[in-house]
C-alpha cells in the first residue's frame, strides 16, 4: 500500500494543481523508490526533480525544484509523481524493501573495504564531484588547524557571486546558497570540536559579518538563510564556552553586536545567553557599557532594549524604571509597563502611583491606552475602591463614547448597584451627540448599539427611527422585533434585500437567501404566505441568470 490516495494529493495541491498534474503523467521518468521516499524527474517547461516523502511528521509531503514548488507549494509535478506511484501501488512494498536492501548492501560493501580501498574510492569521488571535494578540503583544514585555509574557504562559501544574477540571489538560487553557507557553520563547529575553539570564535564573528552583508542581496523568503544565521550564532556560543575568551573583550563585542555594529537582527544574539561565559566580571562590564550606550542615545531603540534586558536580568528595578521613564509614551503605555515591573518587584504602592500618573499625564483621555484604564480599575476593585473604578470608567466613556467603553462602565457600575443612574447619564451623552451631529464622530450609531446591548429593543428602534442607523443595526433590530412586530421587521428586510439583487457573488447570494427566509417568516406570522410566494416568484424571474443563487434557493425551497 502507498499510504496515500488521490484525495490526499488533491488536498495538498488544491483542485487546480491537481487537475494540471493529470496532464503530466507521461512526463514522469526515472522513478526511484527508497524507504519512505520516492524521487523522479518530471518534464515541464524544464526538467524538474520531484521528491515525495511518504511518512514525514505531517504524513505525505513533497518538494520540487520548479518555481512554484520552491515557494513551498505541492505542485503539479508532485501530483504527477504521486499519481504515477498509485498506478504502481501493488509493487511499491517490494520496491521499498529493495531500497532498504540497497542501503544495507552499500553499508556492508563499504565496511568490507580495506583502508587503501576506501582512500582510493574517496579520491575517485573527490575528483568527480567538486563540491564534495571542497567539503573534504575544508574539514581537513579544520582538523589540522590551518586557519588561513579555513578562513579562505569560509569566505568562498559565503560569497554570493556564483549564485547572483545582476548582484542579487533570487529565490530560485537562495536555497542552494543557504546550503553552501551552512557548510561554513559546520566548519566552525568542527574547529571547536577539534580543540581549536579560540579560532572558531574569531571565524564565527567574521562569518557573521560576511553573512549579514550577503543577506542584503538574497531573497530569503523561506527563511533558510535565517536558520543558517541562527546556527552560526549557536556555533559562536559553543566556541565561547569552550575557549573562555577574555570576559571584558567578550562583553564589548556583545555590546557592539547588539547595538548594530552590523546586522545583529540576522543572528539575533542575546547577550544574556553568554552569562555563564562572562561571569561576574564580564556581566559588570556589560552593564556598564549598556548604561554608557543608553546615556549617549536615550531614544535609540537598540540602546534601550539592551539596557532593559541587562538591568532586568540583574534585578535592578530602579535602573530599569529610569530607562522607561526617560521616554514616556504620550498614551500612558510606558506608565503601565513601569507599574507592572513594580508589581513584579512587590512594590504595589509605587505601581499604583505610576498608573495614576499615566492617566494624569495623558493630554486627552480619549487617547489613553485602554489597558492602563483596565489595570487601574482592576487595582481599585482589589482595594475595594469601587467608586473610583466607576469614576474612571465614566470619564473614559465620556472621552471615547464607544460601545466597548459603555460596556466597561456598565460592568463597573453594576458592581456598586449604581447602573441605572450611570446608564441614564451615559445615554444622555449619546443622545446629545446624536442630536448635535447625526453622522459625526459618534452620531446615533453608538446610541443604537448601546440600547441593543442593554436589551432595550424598543428604545433602540425608536432611536434608529429618529436618528438613523446603519444596515447592520437595522438587521439586528428586525431580527429582535420579528416575533412581536412582523410587519415592522418585514419592511426592514424588504429594504435591505433590494440593493443585493443588483449584485453578484456567493457571499451576496447567501445574504439574499437569509433575508428571504426572514421575509417568509414575517409573512407566515402575518398570515399572508401567498404574498411571499408571489414575491419569491418575481425575484426568481428577475434573477434567473444567477445560477448559484438559483441553486441556493432550490436548496432552501424558496
Contact in structure between 497 and 536 (CB atoms under 8 Å) = no
440 has pLDDT over 50: no
SS (H, E, C) 391-409: HHHHHHHHHHCCHHHHHHH
pLDDT for 142: 67
Q: Which of 207-221, 315-329, 457-471, 504-518 has the lowest mean pLDDT?
A: 315-329
438 has pLDDT over 60: no
Q: How much is the mean pLDDT over the chain?
A: 88
pLDDT for 437: 61
CA 166/CA 164 separation, integer angstroms? 6
Confidence of residue 342 (pLDDT cuts 50, 70, 90): very high
442 has pLDDT over 60: no
Which residues, 6+ apart, have CB-to-CB distance to 11 below 8 Å? none
The fraction of the chain above a pLDDT of 90, given in percent, is 49
What number of other Cβ atoms are within 10 A of residue 514's Cβ?
Answer: 16
Q: Which of 298-302, 320-324, 427-431 has the highest mean pLDDT?
A: 427-431
Distance of CA 187 to the CA centre of its chain: 33
441 has pLDDT over 70: no
- Could you give phi then psi for residue 265, rounded to 5 degrees? -65, -25
* pLDDT tens sequence across 60-85: 889 888 888 877 789 999 999 999 98
Confidence of residue 530 (pLDDT cuts 50, 70, 90): very high
pLDDT for 261: 56
Confidence of residue 356 (pLDDT cuts 50, 70, 90): very high
Look up cell 549617549; give the residue: 296
Contact in structure between 398 and 409 (CB atoms under 8 Å) = no
Query: Which of helix, strand or coil describes residue 484?
Result: coil
Task: Tell me what the mean pLDDT of segment 120-131 comes to.
Answer: 76
pLDDT for 2: 62
CA 296/CA 308 separation, integer angstroms? 15
14 has pLDDT over 60: yes
pLDDT for 311: 86
Q: pLDDT: is 388 or 123 the higher one?
A: 388
How many residues are recorded in the chain? 558
pLDDT for 131: 66
Q: pLDDT: is 122 or 33 the higher one?
A: 33
* pLDDT tens sequence across 181-216: 988 898 888 888 888 899 999 999 999 999 988 988
* pLDDT tens sequence across 467-514: 888 999 999 999 999 999 999 999 999 999 999 999 999 999 999 999
pLDDT for 265: 59
Contact in structure between 305 and 268 (CB atoms under 8 Å) = no
Query: Which of helix, strand or coil describes residue 301?
Result: helix
pLDDT for 390: 96
Task: Tell me what the mean pLDDT of segment 437-446 comes to.
Answer: 58
102 has pLDDT over 70: yes
Taking the whole predicted model, whether its pTM rises above 0.85 is answered as no
DSSP β-bridge partners for residue 28: 42
* pLDDT tens sequence across 18-48: 999 998 998 999 888 887 888 999 988 788 8
pLDDT for 136: 74
pLDDT for 371: 94
Question: Where would I find the beta strands (DSSP E) of 133-234?
Answer: none
Q: pLDDT: is 473 or 324 the higher one?
A: 473
pLDDT for 249: 95
324 has pLDDT over 90: no
Contact in structure between 243 and 197 (CB atoms under 8 Å) = yes
What number of other Cβ atoms are within 10 A of residue 416's Cβ?
Answer: 12
Angle between helices 301-313 and 317-325 (to 10 degrees): 160
What number of other Cβ atoms are within 10 A of residue 545's Cβ?
Answer: 8
Q: Which of 118-122, 261-265, 495-499 has the highest mean pLDDT?
A: 495-499
Amino acid at each position: 500500500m502507498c499510504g496515500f490516495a488521490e484525495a490526499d494529493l488533491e488536498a495538498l495541491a488544491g483542485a487546480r494543481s491537481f487537475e494540471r498534474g493529470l496532464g503530466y503523467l507521461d512526463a514522469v521518468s526515472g522513478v526511484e523508490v527508497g524507504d519512505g521516499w520516492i524521487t523522479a524527474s518530471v518534464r515541464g517547461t524544464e526538467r524538474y526533480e520531484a521528491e515525495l516523502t511518504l511518512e514525514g511528521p505531517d504524513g505525505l509531503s513533497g518538494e520540487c525544484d520548479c518555481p512554484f514548488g520552491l515557494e513551498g507549494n505541492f505542485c503539479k509535478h508532485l501530483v504527477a509523481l504521486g499519481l504515477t506511484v498509485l498506478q504502481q501501488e501493488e509493487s511499491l512494498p517490494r520496491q521499498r524493501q529493495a531500497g532498504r536492501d540497497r542501503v544495507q548492501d552499500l553499508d556492508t560493501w563499504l565496511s568490507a573495504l580495506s583502508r587503501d580501498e576506501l582512500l582510493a574510492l574517496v579520491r575517485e569521488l573527490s575528483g568527480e564531484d567538486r563540491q564534495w571535494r571542497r567539503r573534504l578540503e575544508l574539514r581537513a583544514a579544520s582538523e589540522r588547524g590551518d586557519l588561513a585555509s579555513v578562513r579562505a574557504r569560509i569566505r568562498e562559501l559565503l560569497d554570493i557571486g556564483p549564485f547572483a544574477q545582476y548582484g542579487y540571489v533570487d529565490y530560485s538560487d537562495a536555497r542552494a546558497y543557504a546550503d553552501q553557507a551552512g557548510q561554513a557553520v559546520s566548519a566552525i563547529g568542527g574547529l571547536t570540536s577539534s580543540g581549536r575553539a579560540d579560532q572558531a570564535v574569531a571565524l564565527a564573528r567574521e562569518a557573521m559579518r560576511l553573512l549579514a552583508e550577503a543577506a542584503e542581496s538574497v531573497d530569503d523568503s523561506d527563511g533558510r538563510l535565517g536558520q543558517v544565521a541562527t546556527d552560526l550564532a549557536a556555533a559562536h556560543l559553543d566556541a565561547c564556552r569552550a575557549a573562555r575568551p577574555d570576559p571584558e573583550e567578550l562583553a564589548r563585542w556583545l555590546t557592539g553586536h547588539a547595538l548594530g555594529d552590523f546586522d545583529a537582527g540576522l543572528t539575533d544574539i542575546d547577550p544574556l545567553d553568554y552569562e555563564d561565559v562572562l561571569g561576574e566580571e564580564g556581566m559588570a562590564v556589560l552593564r556598564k557599557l549598556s548604561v554608557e550606550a543608553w546615556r549617549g542615545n536615550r531614544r535609540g531603540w537598540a540602546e534601550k532594549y539592551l539596557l532593559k534586558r541587562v538591568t532586568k536580568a540583574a534585578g535592578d528595578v530602579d535602573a530599569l524604571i529610569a530607562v522607561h521613564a526617560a521616554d514616556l509614551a504620550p498614551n500612558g503605555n510606558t506608565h503601565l509597563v513601569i507599574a507592572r515591573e513594580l508589581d513584579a518587584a512587590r512594590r504595589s504602592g509605587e505601581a499604583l502611583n505610576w498608573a495614576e500618573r499615566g492617566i494624569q499625564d495623558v493630554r486627552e483621555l480619549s487617547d489613553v491606552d485602554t489597558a492602563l484604564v483596565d489595570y487601574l480599575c482592576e487595582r481599585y476593585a482589589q482595594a475595594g475602591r469601587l467608586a473610583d473604578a466607576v469614576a474612571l470608567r465614566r470619564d473614559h466613556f465620556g472621552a471615547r463614547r464607544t460601545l466597548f467603553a459603555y460596556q466597561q462602565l456598565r460592568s463597573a457600575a453594576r458592581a456598586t448597584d449604581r447602573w441605572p443612574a450611570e446608564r441614564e447619564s451615559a445615554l444622555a451623552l449619546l443622545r446629545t451627540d446624536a442630536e448635535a451631529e447625526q453622522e459625526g464622530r459618534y452620531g446615533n450609531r453608538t446610541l443604537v448599539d448601546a440600547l441593543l446591548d442593554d436589551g432595550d429593543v424598543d428604545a433602540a428602534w425608536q432611536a434608529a427611527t429618529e436618528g438613523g442607523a446603519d444596515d447592520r443595526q437595522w438587521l439586528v433590530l428586525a431580527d429582535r422585533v420579528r416575533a412581536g412586530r412582523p410587519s415592522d421587521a418585514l419592511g426592514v428586510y424588504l429594504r435591505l434585500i433590494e440593493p443585493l439583487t443588483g449584485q453578484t457573488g456567493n457571499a451576496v447570494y447567501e445574504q439574499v437567501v437569509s433575508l428571504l427566509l426572514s421575509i417568509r417568516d414575517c409573512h407566515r406570522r402575518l398570515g399572508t404566505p401567498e404574498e411571499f410566494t408571489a414575491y419569491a416568484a418575481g425575484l426568481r424571474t428577475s434573477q434567473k441568470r444567477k445560477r448559484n443563487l438559483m441553486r441556493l434557493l432550490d436548496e432552501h425551497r424558496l
